[in-house]
Amino acid sequence: MSEEPLFGTDGVRGLANGALTADLALSLAQATAVVLGQGRSAEARRAAGKRATAVIARDPRISGEFLSAAVSAGLAASGVDVYDAGVIPTPALAFLIGDLDADFGVMVSASHNPAPDNGIKIFARGGVKLPDVVEQRIERYLERDKLLPTGGDVGRIRRFSDAEDRYLLHLLGTLPARLDGIHVVLDCANGAAAGVSPQVFKDAGATVTVIGADPDGLNINDGVGSTHIDNLAEAVRAHGADVGIAHDGDADRCLAVTADGVAVDGDQIMAILAASMQERGLLADDTLVATVMSNLGLHVAMRGRGIAVKTAAVGDRYVLEEMNAHGYSLGGEQSGHVIMNAHATTGDGVLTGLHLVAEMARQGKSLAELASIMTVFPQVLVNVRGVDKARVDDEVVQATVRRVEEELGDTGRVLLRASGTEPLVRVMVEAADEETAKRHADGLAAVVEERLGL
C-alpha cells in the first residue's frame, strides 16, 4: 500500500486500471462491507435473518463498467445484497440509499475528472458521506483477512429498475414553483445527468435545449460541462434561451449562465438561494455555510442582509458536517456543490439547477437580476502542477503568503492549499482589481513551483 492515504477529499480516485484497479475496488468493497455492516442496525438485521443491503451506481465512463462489477462482486461475496442502479447522478444514489433504507451505497465516478480517471465514493446509511475516521477504518481493513460467507449466505445482485423514477419524483416534489415559460439550456457534461436532468426540467414545465448529453464512455467532461462553461454560454446566446445550467460528470455540481452568457458560480447561486430561503423563513438561524474558497463578495452580500456566513474546509462533506452539527439548512462551494438540507444529503446539481430556475419563475426576474445580489471580487486561481503538494508548509512559501496578505490588508486575501483530488497545489488570490490579484497569484505560484518542484 502507498504511504499516502487512500481516501482523498472525495473518496478514492486514480487512473482506472492504473492506481485504481478491479482488485482494489473488490477489496475496498469487502472492507466497506465489514466496517459499515457493524453496529446496532446490523445486529437487529442479523437477528431478523436479513442481509445487509447496498445501492451502487456509476457515471458513464467506460471504466465504470468493470469497476462497478468489481464493487458488486466484493459486496455480494461479503454477504451484502446489492441493488444496481446503473448510470445515475451521485446525489441520486445518495437519495436512493435513504429511500430504500439501505445500509450504505457506493458510487463509481471521478466527478469532473477526465475519462481515463475514475473513483469510488462511499455513502453511509441515510446517504451521507463518510467522516475521515470511518474512511480510515475501511482503509485499515483492506490489509486484513476477511471471513467470507458461503452457500446461501452470500449476497444477491439485483437491478434497481425504478431508481431513476424515484429520484425524478423526489426532485419534482421539492419545487416551490413550476418552470413554465422559461427556456433552459442544459449541459450534462456527457455524464450521469444526461438522462435525468433534461427529463425533470421538462416535467417541471421548462422548455429545454440539451447539449453534452451523448455519453459514449470516453467523452465525459471532454470540452463540456461545468469545467467548460463557455460552450454553454455560446449555446444560450445562440438559442435565445433565458438561462443555462451546467453539470459535471456525476451531476453533484451546478453552475449557470445568464441569457447574455455571463457565468454565475456557486457563490452567486448560494447568495440567491440564501436570500430566497431567508425571505420564506427557511434559512435556519439566518446562516449560510461556505468554504475558504468562497469569494469575499459573498460575505459582503450576506452581511448586508443579516445572514451569517460560516466557513468550512474545501469539500462538500465538510460543509455538510458543519451544517449537520448546527442544524443549518444551506451550504456549498464556489465550484457549484450546493447542499439544501431539507431535500438532499449531499451536493445535488440537478436539484440546485431546478431551484435556481424556480426562483426566476417565482420572482419573475432574470438570472442576471437575481445574481446582482452579489458583487464578485476579482479572484485569480492558479493550479501549480509538478510539485510536491505535501510540502505546502515550506517556510519560504508561507513567508511569501504572509507578505502578500500584509500588502492586501482588508482589500483581499490569499489561499494556498494542496488539492485533495489532484496532484497539484492551488494558489488563490482575491483583490480589489484583477491586475493586483493576477500579479500576486502569479508571483506566489512561481515561488511554489521553485520551492516545491519535483
Q: Check the CA dihedral 91-96-101-104 and report its sign.
A: negative
Q: Do the beta carbons of residue 251 and residue 94 sit within 8 Å? A: no
**What are the backbone dihedrals phi and psi of residue 158, each rounded to the nearest 5 degrees, phi first?**
-125, 150
**Rounded to an integer, what distance in angstroms lies between the CA atom of residue 252 and that of residue 127?**
13
Position 282, amino acid:
L
The answer to whether residue 78 is catalytic is no
Candidate list 63, 68, 109, 111, residue with the active-site label: 111
C-alpha to C-alpha distance for 92 and 99, rounded to whole angstroms? 10
Distance, CA of 362 to CA of 98 (rounded, Å) = 30
Flag whether 216 is marked binding: no
Cβ contact 416:428 at 8 Å: yes
What amino acid is encoded at 454 in this protein? L
The answer to whether the beta carbons of residues 277 and 364 sit under 8 Å apart is no
260 marked as part of a ligand binding site: no
State yes or no: 111 annotated in a binding site.
Answer: yes
Strand 263-264 and strand 338-340: the pairing is unpaired
Residue 153, annotated ligand binder? Answer: no
Give CA–CA dist 450/444, Å, rounded: 10
Grid cell, residue 351, equals 436539484
Known binding-site residue numbers: 111, 248, 250, 252
Catalytic residue set: 111
- Binding residue ranges for Mg(2+): 111, 248, 250, 252
